[in-house]
Amino acid sequence: MIENPPVARLDGVSVRAGNVQILRDIDLTIDPGDALGVFGANGAGKTTILRVLATLQPTATGSVEVLGADATADERFTVRPRIGYIGHVPALYPELTLAENLGFFARSRGLDESVAASALADVGLAGAADRRADRCSHGMQRRAEFARILVSSPVFLLLDEPHSALDADAVDLVDAIVHRTVDQGGAAVLVSHDRARVRSLATRTVEIEGGILR
Amino acid sequence: MIGFGSQAALIARRDILRERRSGEVLWVTLPFGAIALLLVPLAVGTDAPMLRQIGPGIFWVVVMLFGVFISIRQTSSETDAQRDQLALSGLDPAAVYFGRALASFLFLLGFQLVLGFVTVVLYDISLEGWLILPLTFVIVAAGLSLLGTLAAGIVATGQNAAALVPLLVAPLSIPLLIGATQALEALQLGRSSLTWVLMMIVTVIVLAIAGVLSAQPLQETR
């Protein structure tokens, strides 16, 4: 029987920022079907580990493999569009409407703008599509970020505080997106302070403390 | 995946839309540029022949200073989160560079046209025989937009990179400033301005190459 290759593998990964050691000797394997919850205090290194998995964070030591690509080599550029990353700060352009934001995202992936309109409808924002992002509430902006995930259907979801600022309907929507990705053979990593919510969603959880995974 | 040209056009369209909504060039930088042109006659007096003589030089200095500012502001207004998403989008960083520069080029061209009109009126400059002016406008706008976009890419890398920007911008904008002023002066004196135009074109090509080569490393540096 042929085993599925891992979605991501970190081996002895350390990250430094100047003299500060943010991550220390992290070993982590994320397999298809995994929904990994990552917990830890503020500044423990949770967001950094997500950025490493998104191939956005250079590492000081160790090796990072994501979707079969070496994250320190140029091949990372080919797998990046298959990664869905939502940080804790919205990445929308404030001057553009939600439809324009999602349309830009769809077109950057060679998709039609109608896909963006449909995704906005799916997250309950059809009525706000022509509203500028900076005139939307934080919760609406978060919903629009999840519409981006629906547009690109990534196989590897990286979510930083996915349930924050969301109402009950939107929380269910996020959970459905995670379930769908995992059920289709992808994987998800959820960084959160909401342990109860994430435990109900995750297939396993880890704790990060002072840059060390426990 | 979309082609290189379409990627650049997508970025340019995004930046033009953002500017149309924020109006930073139109309502902030342009009036300041016009005020700078107005202040010089107030400072040096209203000696008409002297103003006629220094007018083109003052115009280009104002265009260079405010032009680079427009371009840097335009492209460094992205947040880290937006830059992360752009890096994950799969768009070619060189196409992103050209797209940003294209949007800045259009803003700068408009900026030069308005300030050029203000200069002609305030400094009583005759446009006779200045057929090379439109070409100079286009080359200077291209050079400043490429330079400003490159500088903004450096600013976006964070830490103390912003302190390096004047060291990069000053020497690279000087050939454009000298080329633009000398090309027009050569025409006024009935000489060929070809050498100066070529110097500006070479500067633009060097900036385009530097921008393409540095686009990916700058995108990946945070």
B82 touches chain A (CB under 8 A): yes
Inter-chain residue contact A87 with B84, CB threshold 8 Å: yes
Residue A45 region by backbone torsions, left for phi larger than 0, else alpha for psi between -120 and 50, else beta = left
CB A61 within 8 A of CB A13: yes
Q: List, for residues A79-130, the tens digit of each pLDDT value.
A: 999 999 999 889 999 999 999 999 999 999 999 989 999 999 999 999 999 9
Question: Which of 3.40.640.10, 2.40.50.140, 3.40.50.300, 3.30.56.10 would CATH assign to domain A8-92+153-213?
Answer: 3.40.50.300
A103 touches chain B (CB under 8 A): no
Question: Nearest CA to A170 among A122, A101, A114, A106?
Answer: A122
Which residues, in sequence order, are CB contacts of A74 under 8 Å at separation 6+? none
What mean pLDDT comes out for the span B7-30?
90
> How far lies A121's CA from each of A94, A171, A174, A180, B152, in Å?
20, 16, 15, 18, 36
* Cα B108 from Cα B63, distance rounded (Å): 8
Q: According to the model, what pLDDT value does residue B159 have? A: 64
Tell me the DSSP string of A131-192.
Answer: SBGGGS-HHHHHHHHHHHHHHH--SEEEEESTTTT--HHHHHHHHHHHHHHHHTT-EEEEE-
Residues of chain B with Cβ-Cβ distance to A95 below 8 Å are 17-18, 21-22
Residue A156 exposure: Cα atoms within 13 Å on the Cβ side: 24
Q: According to the model, what pLDDT value does residue B75 have? A: 65
Inter-chain residue contact A81 with B90, CB threshold 8 Å: yes
Q: What is the ipTM of this complex?
A: 0.92
Q: According to the model, what pLDDT value does residue A214 have? A: 83
Residues of chain A with Cβ-Cβ distance to B90 below 8 Å are 77-78, 80-81, 108-109
Q: How confident is the model at residue A49 (pLDDT cuts 50, 70, 90)?
A: very high
Q: List, for residues B102-152, the tens digit of each pLDDT value.
A: 999 999 999 999 999 999 999 888 776 667 888 999 999 999 999 989 988
Inter-chain residue contact B81 with A91, CB threshold 8 Å: yes
A17 touches chain B (CB under 8 A): no
Query: Which sequence spans correspond to the domains of chain A?
Result: 8-92+153-213
CB B29 within 8 A of CB B70: yes
Element (H, E) at B193: none
What pTM was computed for the model?
0.91
Residues of chain A with Cβ-Cβ distance to B89 below 8 Å are 80-81, 105, 108-109
Tokens of B131: 């057929």
3-state SS, A34-82, equals CEEEEECCCCCCHHHHHHHHCCCCCCCEEEEEECCEECCCCCHHHHHHH
Write out the residue range of the structural domain in which residue B36 sits. 4-220
Tokens of A62: 């160790």
Question: Nearest CA to A79 among B218, B87, B83, B219?
Answer: B87
- Of A116-125, A201-210, B189-198, minimum mean pLDDT range: B189-198
Local structure of A19: helix, strand or coil: coil
Inter-chain residue contact B18 with A93, CB threshold 8 Å: yes
* Cα B138 from Cα B60, distance rounded (Å): 13
Q: List, for residues B174-188, the tens digit of each pLDDT value.
A: 999 999 989 888 877
Domain count for chain B, please give it. 1
Q: List, for residues A141-163, the tens digit of each pLDDT value.
A: 999 999 999 999 899 999 999 99
Which residues, in sequence order, are CB contacts of B51 under 8 Å at separation 6+? B41, B44, B122, B123, B124
Question: Nearest CA to B77 among B21, B35, B2, B142?
Answer: B21
Question: Which of A53, A67, A93 to probe the B interface (max B CBs under 10 A)?
Answer: A93
Which residues, in sequence order, are CB contacts of A41 under 8 Å at separation 6+? A209
* Cα A5 from Cα A120, distance rounded (Å): 33
